[in-house]
């Protein structure tokens, strides 16, 4: 039943009905808490974070992503950890904490690579954006805090190659994505 409420929340989210989305995610969370379903709770916290981020409540978004991350770490859920780290990286990038965001985005990429998930390509988009915002030298320094010299160089080469072939990433709440699913939608803060 919790997953049904969660899906209703997703539907409301895609349609731009934030109040209904929050109500449905909260209902799902209450059920998952009562059942002790930690994985379900992590998913609910993540969606509540996305909703808060969409609404511009960055502190609440970060709090919800952190809650999801803590649960996913306790469960050893690498894919969940990748998702949480990735959202924290995008949030920090959007709020101007770009240098801090690099570590979260790299962690997300590493976990996605470990589980072989194609969603890791989204991290390349965010890393390229962080590189552009920080500039080459500052970005290199930020990356080198987490990666060795050779891995830093490999990443920079990959990002430079990607400039030749732009990333194709669609925000699930963008007008184009919403239209693909038959919804009108509205532009998000991350649409470009």
* Predicted pLDDT of residue 58: 96
Model pLDDT for residues 160-169, shown as the tens digit of each residue: 887 644 444 4
Of the listed ranges 20-24, 43-47, 168-172, the least confidently predicted one is: 168-172
pTM: 0.81
Write down the residue that tokens 């969940």 correspond to: 80
Rounded average pLDDT over 103-110: 95
- The domains located in the chain, with CATH, are 1-76 (1.25.40.10), 77-169 (no CATH)
pLDDT beyond 60 at 107 = yes
What pLDDT is stored for residue 163 in this prediction? 62
Summarised one tens digit per residue, pLDDT across range 44-100 is: 999 999 999 999 999 999 999 999 999 999 999 999 999 999 999 999 999 999 999
Residues 6+ apart with CB under 8 A from 113: 120
Among 108, 119, 106, smallest CA distance to 167 is for 119
CA 147 to chain centre: 21
């Amino acid at each position: 039943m919790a997953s049904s409420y969660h899906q209703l929340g997703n539907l409301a989210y895609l349609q731009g009905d934030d109040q209904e989305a929050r109500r449905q995610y909260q209902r799902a969370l209450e059920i998952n808490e009562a059942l002790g379903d930690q994985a379900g709770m992590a998913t609910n916290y993540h969606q509540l974070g996305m909703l808060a981020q969409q609404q511009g409540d960055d502190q609440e978004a970060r709090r919800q992503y952190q809650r999801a991350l803590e649960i996913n770490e306790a469960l050893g859920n690498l894919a969940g950890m990748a998702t949480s780290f990735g959202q924290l990286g995008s949030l920090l990038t959007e709020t101007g904490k770009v240098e801090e965001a690099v570590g979260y985005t790299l962690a997300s990429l590493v976990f996605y690579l470990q589980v072989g998930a194609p969603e890791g390509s989204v991290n390349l988009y965010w890393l390229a954006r962080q590189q552009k915002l920080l500039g080459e030298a500052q970005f290199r320094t930020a990356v080198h805090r987490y990666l060795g010299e050779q891995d830093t160089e490999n990443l920079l080469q990959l990002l430079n190659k990607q400039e030749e072939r732009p990333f194709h990433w669609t925000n699930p709440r963008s007008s184009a994505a919403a239209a693909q699913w038959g919804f009108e939608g509205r532009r998000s803060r991350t649409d470009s």
